[in-house]
Chains A and B, each alone.
Chain A
């Protein structure tokens, strides 16, 4: 299915969950937050939250800033 990840189009296997995407991005064990279609998806449901066709997903982390 087609999704948009951090503003870039991307292909993802059907039935993928947020947790699957995190593994794909090799982000396990890091601090990150995920938003799907401008709504936060809490970490506690990353395993169960299924990504849908056309979803706009943001994955963010903390970086240097003032």
Chain B
């Protein structure tokens, strides 16, 4: 990295990361595509889901953690599909056992199947239990600045408001709320959910977010591996633009070429 692009690393729960793009592993065609896309994204933190073992499946079939190795990546187990604090806490405990005591988790407690909108009261209850139990909680939540602050004060290691509903690809629909959350934050704020294409990721970073977490925007692109690369560039680009500071907006034109020395 040259001098012009030098930057502070992302720090989550005391660990530093060069990449500010976090990616999921769902919805890919197969494990090879998953592996290639995650490699192209440059992500260092990778989310996984915890599910019942499919009894009777071919035991020789490769496992997700064989291709996304916990030695290489920071595995971030999620509580996707949980609609109560109790289920979310159980899922995190299973994940910690599964990953030999690894205690970084992505908490999401959903309220409604149609919108997959976070259930804030259940999320707060689960966060409290998990933090007391020693988990480091990265929490998916609404874009409510007061709730984001409360989750931070409870001890969540990162707060991750949505930009739009999970898997919708609608982009960052709430830039002003995201800015309000960023203004008061002392922990990393990451946009989680809503990104549809590269410019959405750039917009999130230009707002000053510390990172972006996405899955569907990459996995459901026509060429997921190429989109993963695009997202890597988009996140880096947005971050650099935020650090550089954009020019002020003006209503009227301002010539870029000098007025002096015109012919005629």
Contacts and interface: CB of A to CB of B under 8 A. Distances in A.
Interface of A: 5-8, 25-27, 30-35, 38, 40, 42-43, 58-66
19 contacts: A25-B53, A25-B59, A31-B98, A32-B53, A34-B97, A40-B93, A42-B97, A59-B53, A59-B55, A60-B51, A60-B52, A60-B53, A61-B51, A62-B65, A62-B95, A64-B48, A65-B51, A65-B80, A65-B215
Given A27-B53, A33-B97, A58-B94, A64 B65 contact: no
B64 A62 contact: yes
Contacts of B65: 31, 62
A63 B51 contact: yes
A27 B25 contact: no
A27 B94 CA distance: 16
A64 B52 contact: no
B26 interface: yes
B49 A65 contact: yes
A64 to B, nearest CB: 4
A59 B216 CA distance: 27
Contacts of A42: 97
Interface string B38-67: 000000000111111101000100011100
Contacts of A62: 48-50, 63-65, 75, 77, 95, 98-99
B90 interface: yes
Contacts of B77: 62
A64 B28 contact: yes
